[in-house]
């Protein structure tokens, strides 16, 4: 109470004084001047802080005033700054104003003065300037100390791209000072003899630890410098956003701007301010902050996020209603209940977001590769019935919620997995059969395709096969076959059965698949047609069947040639007459056979058509083994009957026969073709694939040919193989063979005969010693004049002469020089016995032959020539004949040593020679003692011109 009364008193006094003042002012204008001006320095920020007061104000008086402030540099006349500062002034209130200098304050002397004026509508008459205060001088240089050099500003912190002024203050006038920025010399302006100023424009960020700027004197080792800390531009926070999960706590997040680039000097701070509540919080984290919402606070919030560092302050604002920024919590207590084969119920709870708010919940159901999405409105408890589910299927259901009235964000999902119950299989199994007749029995192989997951509706436990004998309808047979078997083989006594196949799971039985087997296996002969396959499969079509057909089945093997051919089938409706059979198992070059069956109303399949084809034809894999026959001069025949055209990877359309010959032109029926090795040959095209022989005609006799046969499909020919060489025979050779062969045969026959009868022949034709009696000469003689004349008898021949040759050395003479020397002959006189015969026994020698025989130093028969030498004299036998020599040879030594007196024994062919063949000499004498055997023949006297014949000295003539 006392306080209140004191305040009241003061107020009254102030009012009184104001009235007094107004009356004074009205009477005499009073200047209100700034007084007590003080100037201080903040070196770190390069600021001048001014403070002053206005004394002449009345108590409690508040006036709007404007103060004009002048700042001059170096000298007072150099005013660098004038500013009018308006403020409300009270009596004795200390007024403050600051000014930041671009130039470091240490670089120059600054002076400050000011004046004031009232700028108040209440007292318009006082609107004039007061007097200037005196200049207040600020001189930092004087207090610097005695160092020779200073550089300013110290440790300045600036943003990248700003302009900075640097100066040095030197105490020495003589020294030249040079200054460098990161080693690069700077050029400045001299402010006064001791001070130099450098203006750096658009300073770059170099490194986090600052930029060194230093100055040094020319003389001495003085280095002074500063570190200029250049930061990157401080950016404002981005993506500022707030949300709540429970309406009690707000979580605000933002992306801070890029790092200022300085490690310690520029720490950033983030402050969150809410203007309605006036609350403020300093955020501990760089990118998010939590804000507690007071329980009774208003829904509207106006947030200001202020990011601040030493140099800059950045703010972002956000105005929002709290309920519009609800990010609900994930649903909880989520259950899937009442799961049947097709339905399930999902229940969940949500955290309330206010008393009247509704949540929108989204349910997603994943199953069988599908997603079903549904939305439900929920207050607290959520419930959703999931219908049309597939039996025996795994599902995943998940739920999330958001504010239904003001959507902001979905909550996280809460997920549950469940599996629906099984149901009876929905479809009959797809069944097909293969019927064989084995030893009068019907062997039926049943095949069925496993039901798909959707059809099976659970795990198939077994397949039931019911056999009903159609002839005896009451007879049923049941087989139960567990999976994974997809078929069975049945041996039936006869082939008239109806077979029903069902699939069963734990819940029930599928519809039955019915197939009938008749006595006729339905494998009647049907013409096979060719189909052309494509990459997409085989397009098969068939003629529609008249009458009742309940459907068609196309059957094929995916692995033809394999005993387990992997039988496939395709069921088609009764109105279908074409289908495309495609399979990933189809391979190029493999022949696939398709059978198309019609299904009768009795469910009996019967074969309609057969198709065969390749999904992609290839060139033949191998060439036939070609046999050549009937080779003549003009033709030959080729055949390849063993070639398996069916097993080729394409339909063989025909054959190509390549024929190489030296002839430039191709024969009729062929055309020129170039082979892969660029050789040219003639090509015969055999269009008929069934033709397996070919006659190559019109060839040249005795010519060389090469041929090569290859099949071709629609794609091309078989592999290039080796050519077979053939040479046609000569035209006349067969004639020659007909002549020469018998001739050779005849000659051979004669030769064999001759050989067998050689003795006889020899005797007949050329005896060793001709029998004069058998000689033709004899007959000749006989026929002529002297019938008395007979052949000399051997015993009539008496050796009759021995010749002693006294030969002179060097008296060798040629045959032609016969006359000058006369050999000394011992003439042998004929004995009495020699006259006993019809004529004297005459021996003579053929010189001509003898010489040759002598030259060859061999002995031989000397044919007798009827010519006698004129000087031949009749040799008479001597009594001193060498008796020691018993042999009947005429010895003639090849060489007689000179000066020796040789005794040459010359014997007349004795009688054993004549006629007695057994005494023929079989051992000729040793070559060293080569004796010359002289055939002697008794010649009738009438034939020899001289009546006496002398045995010549051989040495005389031969040596």
Partner 1 sequence: LQFSLTAPLCLLTLLLLPLSLGAPISPAEPISQAYSLALYMQKNTSTLLQTYLQYQGSPFSDPGFSAPELQLSSLPPAAVSFKTWHALDDGERLGHAQGAFLALTQHLQLVGDDQRDLNPGSPILLAQLGAARLRAQGLLGNMAAIMTALGLPIPPEEDTLGVVAFGASAFERKCRGYVVTREYGHWTDRAVRDLALLKAKYPG
Residues in contact with partner 1 by CB under 8 A are: 151, 154-155, 180, 182-183, 207-212, 214, 216, 220-227, 229, 263-264
3-state secondary structure of 835: helix
Give least dist CB 201 to partner 1, A: 20
For partner 1, give the closer residue by CB, 214 or 597.
214
Give least dist CB 185 to partner 1, A: 11
Give least dist CB 65 to partner 1, A: 39
Whole-angstrom distance, CA of residue 604 vs CA of residue 515: 7
- Tokens read off for 64: 């709007």
For partner 1, give the closer residue by CB, 261 or 955.
261
Give least dist CB 229 to partner 1, A: 8
Fill in the DSSP letter of residue 525: -
Whole-angstrom distance, CA of residue 151 vs CA of residue 887: 161
Give least dist CB 302 to partner 1, A: 39
Whole-angstrom distance, CA of residue 633 vs CA of residue 735: 13
Give least dist CB 137 to partner 1, A: 25
Give least dist CB 262 to partner 1, A: 10
Give least dist CB 218 to partner 1, A: 13
- β strands within 218-277, DSSP E: 223-231, 238-244, 249-255, 269-274
Residues 6+ apart with CB under 8 A from 87: 64, 65, 67, 95
Give least dist CB 189 to partner 1, A: 22
Give least dist CB 309 to partner 1, A: 17
For partner 1, give the closer residue by CB, 214 or 684.
214
For partner 1, give the closer residue by CB, 207 or 917.
207
- Neighbour count for residue 598 (Cβ, 10 Å): 22
Query: Which pairs from 22-31 meet CB under 8 Å and 24+ separation?
Result: 25/123, 25/125, 25/126, 26/125, 29/125, 29/126, 29/128, 30/56, 30/126, 31/56, 31/128, 31/130, 31/131
Give least dist CB 224 to partner 1, A: 7
The bridge status of strand 288-292 relative to strand 313-321 is unpaired
Fill in the DSSP letter of residue 510: P
Give least dist CB 310 to partner 1, A: 15
| CA 885 to centroid of chain Cα atoms | 109
Query: Which pairs from 515-520 meet CB under 8 Å and 24+ separation?
Result: 515/431, 515/432, 515/433, 515/446, 515/603, 515/605, 516/470, 516/600, 516/602, 516/603, 516/604, 517/433, 517/435, 517/442, 517/444, 517/492, 517/604, 518/602, 518/604, 519/442, 519/494, 519/495, 520/495, 520/606
For partner 1, give the closer residue by CB, 266 or 517.
266
Whole-angstrom distance, CA of residue 610 vs CA of residue 557: 13
- Tokens read off for 763: 């005797």
Whole-angstrom distance, CA of residue 454 vs CA of residue 218: 97
Query: Could you write out the three-class secondary structure of 622-677?
Result: CCCCCEEECCCCCCEEEECCCCCHHHCCCCCCEEEEEEEECCCCCCCCEEEEECCC
- Neighbour count for residue 933 (Cβ, 10 Å): 22
For partner 1, give the closer residue by CB, 151 or 826.
151
Q: How many CA atoms lie within 13 A of 577 on its CB side?
A: 5
3-state secondary structure of 812: coil
3-state secondary structure of 325: helix
Whole-angstrom distance, CA of residue 460 vs CA of residue 802: 141
For partner 1, give the closer residue by CB, 212 or 290.
212
For partner 1, give the closer residue by CB, 311 or 539.
311
Give least dist CB 267 to partner 1, A: 12
Burial class of residue 943 in the structure, from the number of CB atoms within 10 Å of its CB (0-12 exposed, 13-18 middle, 19+ buried): exposed
For partner 1, give the closer residue by CB, 206 or 567.
206
For partner 1, give the closer residue by CB, 212 or 545.
212
Give least dist CB 176 to partner 1, A: 17
Residues 6+ apart with CB under 8 A from 651: 530, 614, 617, 689, 713, 714
Give least dist CB 184 to partner 1, A: 9
Helices and strands: H and E segment counts in the chain:
7, 54
Give least dist CB 75 to partner 1, A: 29
Residues 6+ apart with CB under 8 A from 718: 619, 620, 621, 622, 623, 710, 711, 712
| Helix spans in 784-864 (H) | 847-855
For partner 1, give the closer residue by CB, 309 or 834.
309
The Cα-based distances of 752 to 569, 748, 768 in angstroms read: 83, 6, 22
List the end-to-end C-alpha distance of the chain, in Å, as a whole number.
199
For partner 1, give the closer residue by CB, 117 or 151.
151
For partner 1, give the closer residue by CB, 106 or 555.
106
Sheet holding 149-152, edge to edge: 149-152, 164-170, 195-200, 189-192
Residue identified by tokens 């920020």 is 45
Whole-angstrom distance, CA of residue 487 vs CA of residue 450: 10
For partner 1, give the closer residue by CB, 174 or 816.
174
């Amino acid at each position: 109470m006392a306080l209140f009364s004191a305040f009241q008193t003061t107020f009254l006094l102030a009012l009184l004084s104001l009235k007094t003042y107004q009356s004074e002012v009205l009477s005499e204008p009073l200047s209100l001047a700034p007084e007590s001006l003080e100037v201080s320095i903040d070196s770190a920020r390069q600021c001048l802080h001014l403070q002053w007061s206005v004394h002449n104000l009345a108590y409690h008086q508040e006036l709007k005033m404007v103060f004009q402030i002048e700042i001059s540099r170096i000298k007072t006349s150099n005013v660098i700054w004038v500013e009018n500062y308006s403020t409300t002034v009270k009596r004795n209130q200390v007024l403050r104003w600051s000014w930041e200098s671009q130039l470091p304050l240490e670089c120059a002397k600054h002076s400050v003065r000011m004046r004031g004026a009232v700028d108040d509508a209440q007292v318009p008459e006082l609107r004039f300037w007061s007097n200037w205060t005196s200049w207040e001088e600020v001189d930092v240089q004087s207090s610097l100390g005695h160092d020779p050099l200073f550089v300013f500003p110290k440790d300045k912190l600036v943003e990248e791209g700003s302009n900075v002024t640097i100066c040095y203050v030197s105490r020495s006038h003589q020294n030249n000072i040079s200054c460098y920025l990161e080693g690069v010399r700077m050029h400045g302006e001299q402010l006064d003899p001791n001070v130099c100023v450098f203006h750096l424009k658009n300073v770059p960020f170099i490194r986090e630890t600052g930029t060194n700027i230093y100055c040094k004197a020319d003389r001495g080792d003085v280095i002074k410098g500063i570190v200029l800390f250049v930061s990157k531009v401080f950016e404002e926070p981005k993506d500022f956003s707030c949300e709540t999960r429970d309406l009690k706590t707000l979580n605000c997040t933002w992306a801070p701007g890029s790092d200022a680039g300085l490690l310690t000097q520029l720490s950033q701070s983030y402050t969150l301010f809410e203007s309605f509540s006036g609350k403020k919080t300093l955020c501990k984290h760089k990118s998010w902050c939590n804000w507690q919402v007071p329980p009774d606070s208003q829904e509207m919030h106006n947030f200001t996020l202020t990011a601040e560092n030493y140099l800059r302050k950045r703010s972002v604002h956000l105005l929002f209603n709290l309920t519009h920024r609800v990010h609900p919590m994930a649903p909880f207590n989520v259950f899937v209940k009442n799961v049947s084969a097709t339905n399930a119920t999902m229940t969940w709870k949500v955290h309330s977001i206010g008393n009247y708010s509704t949540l929108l919940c989204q349910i997603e159901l994943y199953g069988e590769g599908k997603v079903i999405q549904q939305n439900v409105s929920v207050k607290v408890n959520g419930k959703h019935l999931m219908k049309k589910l597939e039996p025996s299927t795994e599902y995943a259901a998940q739920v999330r919620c958001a504010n239904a009235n003001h959507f902001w964000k979905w909550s996280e999902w809460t997920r549950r997995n469940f599996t629906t119950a099984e149901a009876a299989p929905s479809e009959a199994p797809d069944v097909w059969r293969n019927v064989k007749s084995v030893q009068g029995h019907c062997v039926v192989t049943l095949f069925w395709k496993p039901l798909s997951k959707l059809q099976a509706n659970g795990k198939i436990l077994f397949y039931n096969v019911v056999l009903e004998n159609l002839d005896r309808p009451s007879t049923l047979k049941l087989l139960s076959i567990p999976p994974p078997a997809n078929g069975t083989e049945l041996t039936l006594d006869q082939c008239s059965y109806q077979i029903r196949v069902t699939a069963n799971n734990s819940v029930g039985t599928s519809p039955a698949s019915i197939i009938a087997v008749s006595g006729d296996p339905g494998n009647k002969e049907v013409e096979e047609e060719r189909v052309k396959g494509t990459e997409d499969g085989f397009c098969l079509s068939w003629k529609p069947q008249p009458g009742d057909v309940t459907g068609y089945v196309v059957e094929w093997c995916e692995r033809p040639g394999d005993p387990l051919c992997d039988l496939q089938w395709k069921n088609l409706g009764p109105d279908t007459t074409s289908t495309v059979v495609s399979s990933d198992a189809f391979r190029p070059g493999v022949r696939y056979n398709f059978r198309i069956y019609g299904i009768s109303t009795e469910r009996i399949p019967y074969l309609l058509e057969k198709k065969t084809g390749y999904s992609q034809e290839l060139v033949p894999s191998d060439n036939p083994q070609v046999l050549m026959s009937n080779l003549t001069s003009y033709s030959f025949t080729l055949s390849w009957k063993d070639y398996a055209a069916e097993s080729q990877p394409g339909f063989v359309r025909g054959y190509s026969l390549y024929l190489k010959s030296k002839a430039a032109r191709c024969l009729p029926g062929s055309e020129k073709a170039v082979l892969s090795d660029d050789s040219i040959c003639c090509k015969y095209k055999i269009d008929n694939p069934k033709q397996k022989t070919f006659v190559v005609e019109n060839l040249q006799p005795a010519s060389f040919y090469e041929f090569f046969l290859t099949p071709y499909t629609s794609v091309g020919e078989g592999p290039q193989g080796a050519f077979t060489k053939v040479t046609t025979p000569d035209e006349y050779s067969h004639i020659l063979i007909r002549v020469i062969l018998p001739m050779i045969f005849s000659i051979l026959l004669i030769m064999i005969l001759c050989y067998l009868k050689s003795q006889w022949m020899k005797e007949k034709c050329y005896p060793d010693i001709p029998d004069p009696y058998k000689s033709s000469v004899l007959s000749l003689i006989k026929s002529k004049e002297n019938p008395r004349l007979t052949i000399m008898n051997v015993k009539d021949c008496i050796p009759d002469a021995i010749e002693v040759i006294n030969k002179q050395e060097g008296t060798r003479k040629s045959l032609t020089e016969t006359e000058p020397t006369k050999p000394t002959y011992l003439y042998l006189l004929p004995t009495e016995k020699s006259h006993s015969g019809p004529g004297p026994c005459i021996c003579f020698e053929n010189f001509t032959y003898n010489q040759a025989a002598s030259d060859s130093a061999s002995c031989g028969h000397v044919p007798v020539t009827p010519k006698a030498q004129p000087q031949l004299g009749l040799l008479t036998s001597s009594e001193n004949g060498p008796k020691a020599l018993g042999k009947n040879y005429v010895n003639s030594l090849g060489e007689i040593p000179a000066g020796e007196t040789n005794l040459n024994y010359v014997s007349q062919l004795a009688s054993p020679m004549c006629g007695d063949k057994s005494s023929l000499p079989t051992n000729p004498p040793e070559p060293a003692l080569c004796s010359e055997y002289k055939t002697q023949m008794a010649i009738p006297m009438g034939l020899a011109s001289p009546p006496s014949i002398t045995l010549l000295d051989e040495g005389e003539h031969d040596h």
